[in-house]
Chains A and B, each alone.
Chain A
Amino acid sequence: MGLDYENDGALHAKLIEDVLSQYPDKAAKRRKKHLSVAMSKDEATAEDKGLSECDVKSNIKSIPGVMTIRGCAYAGSKGVVWGPVKNMVHVSHGPVGCGQYSWSQRRNYYVGTTGIDTFVTMQFTSDFQEKDIVFGGDKKLEKIIDEIEDLFPLNGGISVQSECPIGLIGDDIEAVSRKKAKEHEKTIVPVRCEGFRGVSQSLGHHIANDAIRDWVFDKEDVKFESGPYDVNVVGDYNIGGDAWASRILLEEIGLRVVGNWSGDATLAEIERAPKAKLNLIHCYRSMNYICRHMEEKYGIPWMEYNFFGPSQIEASLRNIAKHFGPQIEEKTEKVIAKYRPLVDAVTAKYRPRLEGSTVMLYVGGLRPRHVITAYEDLGMVIVGTGYEFAHNDDYQRTGHYVKNGTLVYDDVTGYELEKFIEGIRPNLVGSGIKEKYPVQKMGIPFRQMHSWDYSGPYHGYDGFAIFARDMDLAINNPVWGLYRAPWKKIEDAPPTAVAAE
């Protein structure tokens, strides 16, 4: 599995030194802990660094004033965990902005009649005004819930996604939710995901997970006949249809996906989750909390898997099948064999066009490690990677994926990322919308790896073909060759890949 290569650790160490030299001392000291060069397991042990091969500090506060790429707890709850639950109305509770900027931006695909029985691509807000700040917003929230019930009677429930002011002005959204849930006989979930809580999106995921535990589980009498092969897919948000390209494989190997969290999910799929036999978790970072809870309370085991690229898909399918025994294992081998020709054809077509291309990643959740092998399946080389909001356990897991000498950056700042890109000059950068245009101005191909750059799915075998096509079209587009005006002598022309000062 994967490619055998080593990265230029010495260059990367020098780049880290260079960027740190530009900070005021206090900030340099703090940023130093977030930047490192990955070393092999042997070296790590020899230097008594424990098992973590990507030894960076993580999940601590961003430094003010440096252009962190991180978001907030609200983004983690409304934007990631709750927003995709399709038959619920998610109220962005507070001023208008948060809901406006996150409206329809995460590409959580779903099927349903929007505005009637489905509400994902709508922006419901309490649009706080000064008087709501001064006098509190609980009365307004009550009225909002009544108006939702009146205008959207087919909603399956409501969640209240707190924005910053809610926790600061002392509103009691729990009391309002309890009262109104009783009155309307509906699930109403208050979520305390105010943006100032925690240091990034991450705490929002945790708070959203806890809200499922406290406000959804064991509330309804769930009537559902469970079967021996019932699984929940947890932490797949169906970006561009990822969860669908995954589900088709899980069904083919003989499993029954009784719930998908939370892309294309209905509330019913979440309520019945405790009846499944196994939780399959893709985005560990955003949903491990609820899996651990279900393990503890309902005895449901959980298992991480990775559906990016054929190497990981095969390994994951086999691992999942092993849990269910020979019958499923046999089917799984058939499925792997069935898709082998597709994988071979995709690889034969695209690998020669991508072989040896270097890639830098900076994303969130699971992707900074999970997509590495997918690139390597195409002969591409990962030279640097990092997370917006990882914890220590993510970096431990990353150690198993990255090669010696890989540049690792946690909560990277705009300045650092641009300087690293300038110094390394990779053939491709995979990151987000805020990073896309600066990188492209430098003449370096780019793919958004949060939204799949409006493409996808990238999960599963069907997704791998799209992934390969997209990386090819990004790197091999002729536009990158047009940057230099031909009448400018090479020595006068600005060199390619220049970061802003």
Chain B
Amino acid sequence: MEKVTTMPQSAEKVLDHAPLFREPEYRQMLAEKKLNFECPHPDQIVTDQRELTKTWEYREKNLAREALVINPAKACQPLGAVFAAAGFERTMSFVHGSQGCVAYYRSHLSRHFKEPSSAVSSSMTEDAAVFGGLKNMVDGLANTYKLYDPNMIAVSTTCMAEVIGDDLRSFIENAKNEGSVPGDFDVPFAHTPAFVGSHVDGYDGMVKGVLEHFWKGSERSQVTGTLNIIPGFDGFCVGNNRELKRLLDLMGVTYTFIQDASDQFDTPSDGEYRMYDGGTKIADVKGALNAEATLSLQRYNTRKTLEYCDEVGQATASFHYPLGVQATDEFLMKVSAISGKEIPETIRMERGRLVDAMADSQSWLHGKKYAIYGDPDFVYAMARFVMETGGEPTHCLATNGTSAWEAEMKELLASSPFGQDAQVWAGKDLWAMRSLLFTEPVDLLIGNSYGKYLERDTGTPLIRLTFPIFDRHHHHRFALMGYQGGLRVLTTILDKIFDKLDRESSETGVTDYSYDLTR
């Protein structure tokens, strides 16, 4: 066949992939490639199968899967540990095991935060698989200490090191004996097997590891009215931590933010690359032992850590990613009760402004159906806030949700008339969600960037409100927690609703009768 000889590209108007491959030359080329070389299934068969995947029949098979996991909404433990370590002052993450894992964690965090992410590996290979990775630990710690000048090295593990059974406590001790780092240098650690739990458990393990390292053997002398805040794994830590600190400062509370990565993942551009920035100071971690209470902002991120805080004699309380009205109320009242500080009038005004905004917009939100997925605490928080706006959280899914989470979710949903038809999906993945959205559709999907495939396939508008967000920039710089955060979440949801309505009513002379100027 004679080829077309025109040329789509030009220097005046450079076409990159999106427009370029829509040009006729390329469309023809790709159609011929498919026909002549790909051995494709006939179009009708593809269409039939596509339709089949939208049915209840397919859904039942899909939800009955026992072994295969497709498009899960969770990551592995060491990612959580690396994120946790980034929340302490001048701390380098050292992940013991295969080196490719570390390249993955760093890339994953950088793609979300659009920021540097530093971590090193002990680079274990086949010989270490046979003989163990002690030598890698000894040499690795020495190199990291010398090259990156950290105040602390936080050690976690990849699944390789876990399978062969390397013991971090003795390895680190050995390394210190061999002079890799000074004997009194801080090297907290956490075993973080990828085949147990998810990134939220890796977070838990590492924070607990740090606390244990600094608290063990120290005498606790309680300072009444002071408290610790542990935020949990949070892709919005930049916005959230700063917002929470602002609220606590307004109240005049004495607190320690344990694990604060808000500056580490938001360094300025002024010509200097800061490998380390911000984070909880080691002295503050030590002092935090004396706090009266430790509050976790995400219960399922801190189960072991809170147990440990409890053991040392602190009061503990946990929340589910406090955002919206009632969750923020509860959080502030708890803080107030422990600290003895009153919630100031300025904060009550902020609350009032969020409620005011919700009242202004309630007609657009009432009765809207949502599918929500993400980490357990986030899903809980969003479902609760959605119900406060009169929305119905039809599908609540957490791939890393446990049966305890499922029970807690059901209790929450039963507490409101807007949760009566809601379903909770613990342990399910986003391919299951695809079936749910086809068979029991909703108006809006709340999740992260991976949800864009669900948006494409099912047409459900996606609102990106949780980690990881790769394909939209800077959202994580704004708070979701607190009343201010609630405003941000509210506006984001409303924008999506109005944009969709405008799009659907913008066809000239056909649907634009309802293309209203004021809504």
Determine whether A51 belongs to the interface, using a CB cutoff of 8 Å to chain B.
Answer: no
Number of A residues near B (Cβ < 8 Å) is 132
- Chain A residues with Cβ under 8 A from B453's Cβ? 114-115, 121-122
- Chain A residues with Cβ under 8 A from B94's Cβ? 65
The contact of A500 among B98, B141, B274, by CB within 8 Å, is: B274
Q: Are A154 and B49 in touch, CB under 8 angstroms?
A: yes
Q: Are B79 and A117 in touch, CB under 8 angstroms?
A: no
- Chain A residues with Cβ under 8 A from B163's Cβ? 133, 164-165, 168-169
Knowing A345-B11, A415-B148, A500-B275, the reply to whether A196 touches B75 (Cβ < 8 A) is: no
- Chain A residues with Cβ under 8 A from B195's Cβ? 94-95, 128-130, 132-133, 165
In the assembled complex, the CB of B372 is this many whole angstroms from the nearest CB of chain A, namely 20
- Chain A residues with Cβ under 8 A from B141's Cβ? 65
Q: Within residues 313 to 345 of chain A, which ones have a CB less than 8 A from any CB in chain B?
A: 338-339, 342, 345
By a beta-carbon cutoff of 8 Å, the part of chain B in contact with chain A is 3, 5, 7-12, 14-17, 20-21, 25-26, 29-30, 33-34, 37-41, 45-46, 49-50, 53, 58, 61-62, 65-72, 74-76, 78-79, 94, 97-101, 103-108, 110-111, 114-126, 128-129, 136-137, 139-144, 146-149, 158-160, 163-164, 193-196, 198, 267-276, 431, 434, 450, 453, 457
CA distance A122 to B453 in the complex (A): 9
Q: Are B39 and A266 in touch, CB under 8 angstroms?
A: yes
Q: Are A196 and B126 in touch, CB under 8 angstroms?
A: yes
Contact with B along A70-102 (1 / 0, CB 8 A): 111111000000000001000100111110111
Q: Are B143 and A66 in touch, CB under 8 angstroms?
A: yes
- Chain B residues with Cβ under 8 A from A125's Cβ? 69-70, 72
Among listed A33-41, A145-153, A355-363, interface-contacting one:
A145-153
The contact of A438 among B3, B66, B116, by CB within 8 Å, is: B116
Q: Are A165 and B160 in touch, CB under 8 angstroms?
A: yes
* Pairs across A and B, CB under 8 Å, 20 listed: A63-B143, A87-B38, A97-B101, A98-B101, A105-B107, A111-B34, A113-B50, A122-B71, A124-B68, A129-B196, A140-B67, A151-B68, A164-B158, A164-B159, A167-B129, A266-B39, A348-B11, A441-B269, A441-B273, A493-B271
The contact of A168 among B107, B121, B160, by CB within 8 Å, is: B160
In the assembled complex, the CB of A423 is this many whole angstroms from the nearest CB of chain B, namely 14
In the assembled complex, the CB of B407 is this many whole angstroms from the nearest CB of chain A, namely 21
CA distance A434 to B117 in the complex (A): 7
- Chain A residues with Cβ under 8 A from B107's Cβ? 101, 105, 432-434
Known: A63-B139, A245-B20. 9 other contacts (CB 8 A): A64-B136, A72-B100, A97-B104, A98-B100, A117-B41, A350-B11, A441-B272, A441-B274, A493-B270
The contact of B103 among A75, A153, A165, by CB within 8 Å, is: A75
- Chain B residues with Cβ under 8 A from A342's Cβ? 7, 9-11
Q: Are B450 and A103 in touch, CB under 8 angstroms?
A: yes
In the assembled complex, the CB of A485 is this many whole angstroms from the nearest CB of chain B, namely 7
The contact of B196 among A130, A437, A455, by CB within 8 Å, is: A130
CA distance A148 to B40 in the complex (A): 19
CA distance A244 to B137 in the complex (A): 46
CA distance A117 to B43 in the complex (A): 10
Q: Are B72 and A67 in touch, CB under 8 angstroms?
A: no
Determine whether A269 belongs to the interface, using a CB cutoff of 8 Å to chain B.
Answer: yes
By a beta-carbon cutoff of 8 Å, the part of chain A in contact with chain B is 22-24, 26-27, 61-75, 87, 91, 94-98, 100-103, 105, 109, 111, 113-117, 121-130, 132-133, 140-141, 143-144, 147-148, 150-151, 153-154, 163-165, 167-169, 195-199, 201, 240-241, 244-245, 247-248, 251-252, 257-259, 264, 266, 268-269, 338-339, 342, 345-346, 348-350, 413-415, 418, 432-434, 436-443, 455-457, 461-462, 465-466, 468-469, 483-485, 493-501
CA distance A338 to B5 in the complex (A): 9
- Chain B residues with Cβ under 8 A from A109's Cβ? 17, 21
The contact of B147 among A66, A72, A144, by CB within 8 Å, is: A66
- Chain B residues with Cβ under 8 A from A74's Cβ? 100
The contact of B29 among A195, A248, A348, by CB within 8 Å, is: A248
The contact of B434 among A115, A247, A268, A433, by CB within 8 Å, is: A115
The contact of B139 among A27, A141, A434, A466, by CB within 8 Å, is: A27
In the assembled complex, the CB of B4 is this many whole angstroms from the nearest CB of chain A, namely 9
- Chain B residues with Cβ under 8 A from A345's Cβ? 10-12
CA distance A251 to B26 in the complex (A): 12
In the assembled complex, the CB of A7 is this many whole angstroms from the nearest CB of chain B, namely 24
Q: Are B30 and A147 in touch, CB under 8 angstroms?
A: no
The contact of A115 among B105, B137, B193, B457, by CB within 8 Å, is: B457
CA distance A496 to B75 in the complex (A): 37
CA distance A495 to B40 in the complex (A): 58
Knowing A97-B101, A151-B62, A483-B270, the reply to whether A466 touches B160 (Cβ < 8 A) is: no
